[in-house]
Amino acid sequence: MSKPRILIQLDTDAQVSVFDSVVAVDAGVERLFRHQHVTSENVRDLVHGAMFTRGGDDLSQTAIFIGGSDVQAAEDVLRAVTDCFFGPVRVSVMLDPSGANTTAAAAVLAAARHISLAGVEALVLGATGPVGRRVVRLLARQGAAVRAASRSRDRAAEVCQSVATAVEGATIAPHETSTEAGLAAAIEGAQLVIAAGAAGVELLSAEQREASATLAVAIDLNAVPPAGLGGVEPTDKAVERTGAAGQKTVCYGALGVGGTKMKIHKAAIRQLFTRNDQVLDAEEIFAVGQSLE
């Protein structure tokens, strides 16, 4: 008889995420060990406890989830976790702080339903945030020509540099959108736009969006009004809207993407327990999502 599936939920916040816990339970996790205030400094003993208690095939029935609102801190914890492993003595790990990986994967998958990503001109607004960075990375890997936009050119350039290092042959350019002219240049000729900015900040007005003669897909990941993309409703799910130039644009809002995000999240949790040697970060979680489409 196989052992109960244990998920060790490591959260960098002062309170462990209830959201991540409910999803884990609904994905079939049988025992949840929930830890708050986890850091790259204090995580070692917790990981050793996962590594040294079950042997052989049973080791795949223990896994680690890393979450919390601070994406950088969670990435540090992931590094510290994988540093503990040696040889076959390891457990599978999933990283999804603030839902950044599952959200980015869901957004890119939504786009891929309507447009071929290879070679597409793709604008990512709010590209320097946790979700935005992952969207840029996933699009670049799919062969898109990515425009990483931010109010700050320096920060946009830093994201481009970082993704170019990670993704061989990436086509990616920084855009500064703090001025009207900068924003106009960023959107000019784009076929896909994904807005991943802070909640409640409009990144592109309805007029600017509708003026485009090329925009085929527009995805807004902001659920709190006002919308990040003017005129896109949070509940939009493949809603076709026609612009001033007659261009038809398929639109998604945050809730429209949310169902896919939830399915990817649960499928990724389930996949953790199929082997003991997985590290599920942006690309791996995107692959999980692809297998569900």
- Alpha-carbon distance of 164 to 51, in angstroms, equals 34
Q: Which of residues 158-177 bind its own copies (CB under 8 A)?
A: none
Does 131 sit near its own copies (CB under 8 A)? no
Tell which positions 66-105 bind its own copies, by CB under 8 A.
Answer: none
Which of 7, 26, 216, 285 is close enough to bind its own copies by CB under 8 A?
26
| H or E stretch covering 187 | helix 180-187
Tell the smallest beta-carbon distance from residue 97 to its own copies (Å). Answer: 13
CA separation, residue 88 to residues 49, 57, 270, 271 (Å) = 15, 11, 20, 18
- Rg of the chain over CA atoms, in angstroms? 20
In a 3-state reduction of DSSP, which class is residue 62? strand
Residue 100 C-beta: closest distance to its own copies, Å: 16
Near its own copies by CB under 8 A: residue from 19, 119, 274, 275 = 19
| Contact flag: residue 263 with its own copies (CB under 8 A) | no
Site for its own copies in 44-63 (CB under 8 A): 45-50, 52-54, 62
How many residues contact its own copies, by CB under 8 A?
35
Instruction: Work out whether 196 is an interface residue with its own copies (CB under 8 A).
Output: no
Single out the segment in contact with its own copies by CB under 8 A; choices: 28-36, 139-147, 193-201, 228-236: 28-36
The token pair at 228 is 């990040």
The gap between the terminal CA atoms of the chain, to the nearest Å, is 33
At 87 the three-state DSSP class reads: coil
291 is a contact residue toward its own copies (CB under 8 A) = no
CA distances from 206 to 49, 218, 285 (A): 53, 11, 32
Stretch that binds its own copies, among 9-17, 137-145, 229-237, 240-248 (CB under 8 A): 9-17
Q: Which is nearer to its own copies, 76 or 283 (CB)?
A: 76
Minimum Å distance from CB 173 to its own copies?
Answer: 36
Shortest separation between residue 272's beta carbon and its own copies, angstroms? 15
Facing residues of 219 across strands? 194, 252
With 0-12 / 13-18 / 19 or more C-beta atoms within 10 angstroms meaning exposed / middle / buried, residue 25 is middle
Residue 92: is it exposed, middle or buried by C-beta count within 10 angstroms (0-12/13-18/19+)?
buried
Pick 55 or 246: Cβ nearer its own copies: 55
**Smallest gap from residue 16 Cβ to its own copies (A):** 7
Residue of 12, 38, 218, 245 that binds its own copies (CB under 8 A): 38
Only one of the segments 37-45, 130-138, 142-150, 177-185 lies at the binding site for its own copies (rule: CB under 8 A); that segment is 37-45
Q: How far is the CB of 94 from its own copies (least distance, A)?
A: 16
Tally of residues, the chain: 293
DSSP secondary structure, 230-252, as one string: TT--TT-EEEEEE-TTS-EEEEE
What is the SS3 assignment for 176? Answer: strand
Maximum distance among all Cα pairs of the chain, rounded to whole angstroms: 65
**Sites of contact with its own copies (CB under 8 A):** 3-4, 6, 8, 14-23, 25-26, 31-35, 37-38, 42, 45-50, 52-54, 62, 262
